[in-house]
Structure 1
Amino acid sequence: MCFDDPKAIADYDRVMQTNIRTAVILKHLAKPYLIESKGSIVNTSTVSSEWSYCMSKAAVNAFTQVIASLLAPDVRVNAIAPRPTRTNIHVVNSSGDQDKVWDEFGKIMPLKRVAEPIEMAQLIALLASDASKNMTGSIIVSDAGYLLGDPYR
């Protein structure tokens, strides 16, 4: 979405509502229960580059760290920042073969693959478990090497 697109502001509002406002409201409502249960929060961020989506997820990262500081030591708060993960979020190509789209995307990644949703679920489970009881305010990137930006791949 470009800034000069007539739908840019509406898109920005929708994405911010979905990705950050909802997270803030849920944390506010769940806070007493999380403190009582010594619970754990795992937010979902991204390493995406689309402008409004990226800004909203940067806000999720900042919110993760602020709320981690405010809720410590009672509640641990971390986030995952995945890319790419094989989901149905992207528009399928003209042939309608979404798996082919993901396979092509995987070919340009340094690890030559995209993650499966179960891998992100396992990462979330790890962060929510006692195995990560010494972590709070962390943003864990799982990106098949996307951020390496290797020009030779």
Structure 2
Amino acid sequence: MTFLFIRPVPIMRRVFGILLFGLALFIIINDIKGLILCGIATYFILTEGTEFNFETNKYRLVKSFLGLNFGAWKAIPDIEYVSVFKTTEKTAVRSRSAETTVSNSVYRLNLFYNTNQKIRAYTTSDKDDAFEKAELFSKYLNTEIYDATEE
């Protein structure tokens, strides 16, 4: 059983990144300075996540670029418990003359080992989805679920 979670990139950010990447490739044909634009475009498209392979008992922190996943596999440590907690995720939104911070409530699923070490396994805005994934991890890792959502 393999579990892959990649944070979704907002559609407008993805479209802008792909268009910018295409423009960068066109510029690279004529001028090597297009590599700078290529790097900026990569920033808009790149996303992060986690992948677990329960058959081989390994996990990796993933960087994903246009559906290609990169990251080094590590052995899953002896997980003590699965924790689901509610937190606030803040995002800075900037404009030419103004800046604000947008807050969203999210549920995070962490796998704890060695008393206080953790692996951030999953993030969602839906409480039921968080507990479904926690049940999955609990089943495959043979651990208990700790509910720290406190509503």
TM value normalised by structure 2: 0.28
Task: With a CA cutoff of 8 Å and minimum separation of 6, indicate the structure with the bigger relative contact order.
Answer: 1
- Considering fraction of residues, name the structure with more strand: 2
- Considering fraction of residues, name the structure with more helix: 1
